[in-house]
Amino acid sequence: MYKFTASITKELRLLLRDKVGLMIMFAMPVLLVLLITSIQISAFELVNNSKVKVLLCNKDKGKGSQEFLSYLNEVGRFDLINVDMTEDDRNVGDYLNDHDAFVALYIPEGFSDQIAKKAEFTAGKALVEFGINESPDTLKMVKVDSLTIYFHPVLQQSLRRSIQGALKSVIQLVESKSMLNALYFSINGKPMPASFEKEMFANQIGIKERTTSHNGSRTIPNAAQHNVPAWTIFAMFFMVISLGGNIVKEKLSGSFVRLKILPTNFIVGLLSKQLLYLMVAMSQVIVIFSMGVWLFPHIGLPALNIPHDWLALIVVSFICGLSAISYALCIGVYAKTQEQANGFGAISVVILATIGGILVPSFAMPKAFQFYMNLSPLHWCLEAYYGLFLEGGKLVDIMASVIPLLGSIVVLQLIAIIGLKKKNLI
Amino acid sequence: MNNLALSVNNLSFRYPGQAKDCVHDLSFEIFIGERFGLFGPNGAGKTTLMSLMVGLQKVKQGHIQLLGKDIRKDSAAIKHFIGYVPQDFAFYPELSPVENLDFFGAWSGLDKRTVKERTTSLLEVLGLSDVAHKPVKQFSGGMKRRVNLAIGVIHEPKILFLDEPTVGVDVQTRHAIIDYLKVLNAQGTTLVYTSHHLKEAEDLCERIALIDRGEMVAYDHLSQLLERHGSKDGLEELFLKLTGSAYRD
């Protein structure tokens, strides 16, 4: 037992004196989580929560455009700001920049009249088609001038489509209402009563929104739910700098050679090293997750919602930590110099994080990459955490992610041990 | 049980990919309590032979026995009674001498109390008490040599292998190390020693083996070898006589 405690003490002393390694394992991920969550939160909110700022230039003073704008406000997604601008692209661009907006809407003069005339035409045509009226000579098709919508070049295509969809549905509503009014007036010779109109348009078919989950919990995905686990995994794998470097140093300093002739099995050394770094990984989880739970709400970021299944969270964190340790062990065994371990280790972790969905969510990746992400242990770590954080799953629900992760740990450990044997170090 | 500390029989070794043996058909014996010197020019095969004797390299051809135990069959038992002081520093420079000895002492199979006692006495004897808690990386070359030696002897091995233990140190440190080795030997430790300091070797070693290109060139009591080869000026003259004066590296 003394051998084991002495080994752990030795590793702890080396770790505590490795200031750069500690900074990389703790300070860097804390900063990354804070910065990236703060940056992403604005993009996330643009898509999910906050209103889209729309510059509005309404050259029409009629009832139709007022109604249109009233319905647009009811949608609740747009923050309309009235401006007086021309239709010239350059002019609109300047306005967008000045107002820090991404969208502008131009309503041409006579828009309301044109809608009203179009409604009269459609209603008249309908009455003819129904055989109620004869075809009057005055019935003439009216073309409504289109609204013009301007987008800032950086605005994503998906958001453009979503805004266009909202505008189209509002226009349709205004047109339908106008047409129904015209039809009512043609048949009854008086305007449609407000109560009837309200009854007709209030009774729309609703859409229920539900987020799927395993246990009925409703965790709303936000930037914290993705970033906190994602950057914790990244931090764990960045252990490669400290642990990988530690192994290279031991090889180069000749300590491995001395240990080989001492009457203690090298497994004791490997186990104590891994156990200590597993504790480091758990500390990273505690520090970064605590920050997500307690610090984030105080600095205007969404709080991290910890999954209900604590045991599963601990098990997954242990497995992710072990996976990171196994990877660092491999790099340390095969790297010939400290520079190789640091350089290759860091770059490879960034690549694995990229293809693993840490930097960009995997669903947003090109199809070709979606195969390669299966090769990244970080991907399986993230999938396991997603299963707990976003879907409220239990351990059994995330086995599809945990099993490949366990497999990769076994493979990486074997590769490391083979490397140590081949290099005559154990 | 005979009085042999170590016996090497028909030992040959070749590194993978090499055309020639690095150690070729070597046989010699070292007795318990002896101070034995292993000499030869650079590339003669001394360090490889040392690696084979301590078990760092696997013996594939020939036999090595330490205190009657075969190195291939009883390596676990042998590890308890041998000590090794490698030519290169083999410790953790970030740790202090006390922390290094604490770790290596535990791995040598000692209990915590024994490690503590021996650490105190070793640091005292080797003049490291004042710097016992400072990181070794801050030490001079001579101090690092003494730490390297202390780690190799903390478990009081019966046979101590020393590969150039005084390389790169000043005269004072060299004398201190040699004196300490004599004390260890007087307490019963068998010393197997290599060095390029032939005067130092003359002072320390009772018997020597001179090897060149992996083969045994001479092996006997130092005084008898000098007499046999008519080398009045000592080991250096004998060395040049038997191995030539051409560059070896």
For A90-106, how does the pLDDT look when each residue is reduced to its tens digit (9 = 90+)?
A: 788 888 888 888 889 99
ipTM, interface predicted TM-score of the complex: 0.85
- Out of A250, A261, A268, closest to residue B56 by CB: A261
Kindly identify which residue of chain A lies nearest to residue B109, measuring between CA atoms: A263
Does A9 sit within 8 Å of B103, measured CB to CB?
yes
Q: Residue A333 — pLDDT band, cuts 50, 70, 90?
A: very high
Beta bridge partners of B218: B210
* Set of chain B residues whose Cβ sits within 8 Å of the Cβ of A9: 102-103
Beta bridge partners of A106: A57, A148
- Out of A253, A263, A268, closest to residue B79 by CB: A263
| pLDDT at residue number A43 | 64
- Nearest Cα of chain A lies from the Cα of B76 at a distance, in angstroms, of 6
| pLDDT at residue number B169 | 80
CB-based contacts of B241: which residues, under 8 Å, 6+ apart?
B229, B231
Kindly identify which residue of chain B lies nearest to residue A258, measuring between CA atoms: B90
| pLDDT at residue number A92 | 83
- Nearest Cα of chain B lies from the Cα of A348 at a distance, in angstroms, of 28
| pLDDT at residue number A156 | 74
Residues of chain A above pLDDT 70, percent:
92
pLDDT tens-place values along chain B, 249 residues long:
578 999 999 999 998 888 888 889 999 999 999 999 988 888 888 889 999 999 988 898 999 999 989 999 898 899 999 999 988 888 999 999 999 999 999 999 999 999 999 999 999 988 899 999 999 999 988 899 999 999 999 999 999 999 888 887 888 888 888 888 999 999 999 999 888 777 777 788 888 888 888 888 888 888 887 777 777 777 777 777 777 766 666
Under a CB-based contact definition with an 8 Å cutoff, are residues B60 and B66 in contact? no
| pLDDT at residue number B190 | 94
Beta bridge partners of B4: B31
Tell me the per-residue pLDDT of A150-177, one tens digit each, with 9 for 90 and over. Answer: 988 877 777 788 888 888 888 888 888 8
- Nearest Cα of chain A lies from the Cα of B75 at a distance, in angstroms, of 9
- Nearest Cα of chain B lies from the Cα of A257 at a distance, in angstroms, of 7
Kindly identify which residue of chain A lies nearest to residue B88, measuring between CA atoms: A254
Res. A220: pLDDT tops 60: no
Selected residue of B48, B103, B164 to mutate for chain A interface (largest A Cβ count, 10 A): B103
* Set of chain A residues whose Cβ sits within 8 Å of the Cβ of B139: none
Res. A316: pLDDT tops 90: yes
Q: At what angle do helices A266-290 and A2-17 cross, to 10 degrees?
A: 50
**Interface check B167 vs A, CB under 8 A:** no
Selected residue of B47, B57, B94 to mutate for chain A interface (largest A Cβ count, 10 A): B94
For residue A155 the two structure tokens come to 């605005």
CB-based contacts of A219: which residues, under 8 Å, 6+ apart?
A211, A213, A225, A305, A307, A389, A390, A392
For residue A392 the two structure tokens come to 């409220």
| pLDDT at residue number A207 | 75
| pLDDT at residue number A10 | 93
- Nearest Cα of chain A lies from the Cα of B11 at a distance, in angstroms, of 20
CA distance A146 to A105: 11
Under a CB-based contact definition with an 8 Å cutoff, are residues A44 and A303 in contact? no
| pLDDT at residue number A50 | 63
Percent of residues in chain A assigned helix, strand, coil, to nearest 5: 70, 5, 25
Does A264 sit within 8 Å of B94, measured CB to CB?
no
Kindly identify which residue of chain A lies nearest to residue B87, measuring between CA atoms: A254
Res. A253: pLDDT tops 60: yes
Does A13 sit within 8 Å of B111, measured CB to CB?
no
Beta bridge partners of B26: B11
Res. A113: pLDDT tops 60: yes
| pLDDT at residue number B247 | 64
CB pairs under 8 A between A and B: 82
Alpha-carbon distances of B9 from B15, B97, B201, rounded to whole Å = 19, 38, 24
**Interface check A260 vs B, CB under 8 A:** yes
- Out of A7, A257, A261, closest to residue B103 by CB: A7
Task: Give a three-class secondary structure readout of A103-146.
Answer: EEEEECCCHHHHHHHHHHHHHHHHHHHHCCCCCCCCCCCCCCCC
Tell me the per-residue pLDDT of A9-19, one tens digit each, with 9 for 90 and over. Answer: 999 999 999 88
* Set of chain B residues whose Cβ sits within 8 Å of the Cβ of A264: 106-109
Alpha-carbon distances of A101 from A95, A166, A278, B245, rounded to whole Å = 8, 18, 47, 86
Does A262 sit within 8 Å of B79, measured CB to CB?
yes
Share the mean pLDDT of chain A. 85
| pLDDT at residue number A45 | 63
- Out of B94, B108, B152, closest to residue A17 by CB: B94
Would you tell me how many other CB atoms lie within 10 Å of the CB of residue A249? Answer: 19
Does A255 sit within 8 Å of B91, measured CB to CB?
yes
* Set of chain A residues whose Cβ sits within 8 Å of the Cβ of B151: 258
* Set of chain B residues whose Cβ sits within 8 Å of the Cβ of A255: 90-92
**Interface check B109 vs A, CB under 8 A:** yes
* Set of chain A residues whose Cβ sits within 8 Å of the Cβ of B91: 253-255, 258
| pLDDT at residue number A321 | 96
- C-alpha angle A36/A41/A44, rounded to 5°? 120
**Interface check B73 vs A, CB under 8 A:** no
Tell me the per-residue pLDDT of A14-63, one tens digit each, with 9 for 90 and over. Answer: 999 988 888 988 998 899 888 888 887 766 666 665 678 888 998 888 88
* Set of chain B residues whose Cβ sits within 8 Å of the Cβ of A258: 84, 86, 90-91, 104, 151-152
